[in-house]
Amino acid sequence: MNPVITSDIVIVGAGVVGTSIAYSLIPYDVRVLLLDKNNDVAMGATRANSAIIHAGYDPKPGTLMAKLNVEGNALYEKLCHDLSVPFRRCGSLVLAFSDTERALLEELLDRGIKNHVPDIRILDKDELHRIEPGVSADAVSALYAPSAGIINPWEFCLAQAEVFVRNGGTFLPNCEVTGIRKDTSDPDRFYLLDIPSGTIRARTVILACGIRSDIVHGFLSTPDFSIVPTRGEYYLLDKSEGSRVSHVVFQCPNASGKGVLVAPTVHGNLICGPTSEVLKEDIEDTSTTSAKLSEIKEKASRSVGNISWRDNVRNFSGIRANSTSDDFILREIPDQEGIFEAAGIKSPGLASSPAIGLYMLNLLKEKGIPLPEKKGGYDSTRKKIHFRDMTNEERAELVKKDPSYGRIVCRCEGVTEGEIRDALLSPIPPVSLDAVKRRAGTGMGRCQGGFCGPRIVEMMLGRNKNTAETSGTLPDPSPLSILQDGNGSNLFFEREAEKEVES
C-alpha cells in the first residue's frame, strides 16, 4: 500500500509565488508541505526571467496586479536585507522615439499615479541623456520610475524556501501532483493529492502551479481560465558590457508585453530580451532560436547602441504563465472549499510575489483556516556570505576564521570553496551542478563552469558520500548520481564494456 502523508496545508509549486506563500506561513504553528515536480525550487519561470522588480505603472488601475505590484515592490529592500539576497533599486526608463510614443508615456504616467507608484515622472530629452548617456540619441523622452529594481530571482526564491524549511516546513522535490480529490471516506473535509510515491492528505491546498495552473485546476473542476504559455528568449552579456546602462531600459509596451529591455544585472552583466512566442505544443520548451535572438539584437540596438554582441555569455529562455484573464487569479476555487489558487501570475509576478504571499495568507484567515501563532518563536532571516561583495578587511577577517573562504574555486565569479560548501549544506541540498550555481553563483561567468565544474563535482561527491553514510538521504555517492540540472541530465554514464565485465 502506498504511504499517506498528512499535513495541514499543502502548497503545490515551489516557484517564487509558492515560496512567498510558504514564507508568509512561517509565523504559524501549522504543518506545511511545499511540493514541486522538479528536483529543486525555482525551476520554472523563476529561474529564467528578466530579473526586474517593476515599479507598477503598467498594470490597469484597480486590478490586483496594480495593487500587489506596488505593494510587493515596496517590500523588497527589507526582505532582501533579511535574506541576504542581492537587490538594487536602479530605476527604470521607458523610451519614446516619436510624438505618438510620447503620448503613450503620458498614459503610463497617469496609470502610475493612479497606482501610487512613487516619484514617477516624464523626462525631456536633455534630462534623459544626462542621467542615462547610454541610450540612443533618437530617444526624445522617457518615463522615469526610480522605484524599479533588479534582483537575483532564483536566490530570492531559494532564500525564502530555505528559511521556511529551517523553521519547520517541509519541501518535497520530485513530487508531481497527478490528481486531487476529496476524501469521501472521512466525515471531516480532507483532500487527497496523488503523487508518485503515494498520497498526501490535507485540509487546505494552495495551487501555485505556473504554466500548469489550468491543468492542475482541472483535476477538481473545469477551469474558467486558460494558461497561454509564452516563451521569452534572452541574451546574457559579459560583465564588460554590464555598465552599458545603469537603469532598466524599456521601449513602449505593445500587445505582446513590455517589449525588449536592456538592463544591468545584480551580478554585473547586461541582459537583453525577452521575445514573446506562444507555445502551442511543448509548453516547457525552453530552447532558443536564431530568428528570435536576431530579433532581440535588432530591437535592443534601437534602445542602446554599440552593444558588443560578441561578448555574449549565454542565451536562454523562460516560459511566462500568461493567461486569458486580465488579472492575477488569487482566490478560493468556487465550490471547492479549502482549495486556493494563485494562477495567471504573469509579469509583474516577480515584483508582486511578496505581496501575493501576504494576500494569500490573509485570504486563508478570511476563510477561517486555523492559523495559530507559534509559541516558541521563529527566525525569518538568513545570513549568507557573498565573498566578492565584501571589503578586503572583511575578507581577511573571514579567512582568518575559516581558510576555506580564501580558496577561489570559480575564478570568473570569485566564488570560494567555503561558499560552495555552504551551498552543499543548504537546508534544501542541491542535487545538480546548476543547483549549486543557483545557490553559490558558480559557473555563471565566461567559462560557464568549464574551470570550476570538476572541483564542484568532487565536492558534491564528498558531500554525498558523507551524508549517505550517516543518513542515506541523498543519491548514491558515485559520479553516476551527479546531474547537470533536471532529472535525467546525468553528467556521467557507465561504459557498456565496463558493464559487461561486471556482469
Confirm if 442 and 420 have CB atoms less than 8 A apart. yes
Cα–Cα dist 254/72, whole Å: 24
Q: Which three cell numbers stand for residue 37?
A: 515536480
Distance CA(283)–CA(278), nearest Å, equals 9
For 488, phi then psi, to 5°, come to 95, -10
Active site residue 247: no
Q: What's the N-to-C CA distance of the chain in angstroms?
A: 33
Which ranges in 211-348 belong to alpha helices (H)? 213-217, 290-303
Q: Hunting for cell 525577452 — which residue is that?
A: 274
Active-site hit among 54, 217, 247, 267: 54
Contact (Cβ atoms closer than 8 angstroms) between residue 404 and residue 455: no
> How long, in residues, is the chain?
503
257 DSSP assignment: B
Strands 270-273 and 227-237: antiparallel
Q: What is the 3-state secondary structure (H, E, C) of 313-366?
A: EEEEEEEEEEECCCCCEEEECCCCCCEEEEECCCCCHHHHHHHHHHHHHHHHHH
Catalytic residue set:
54
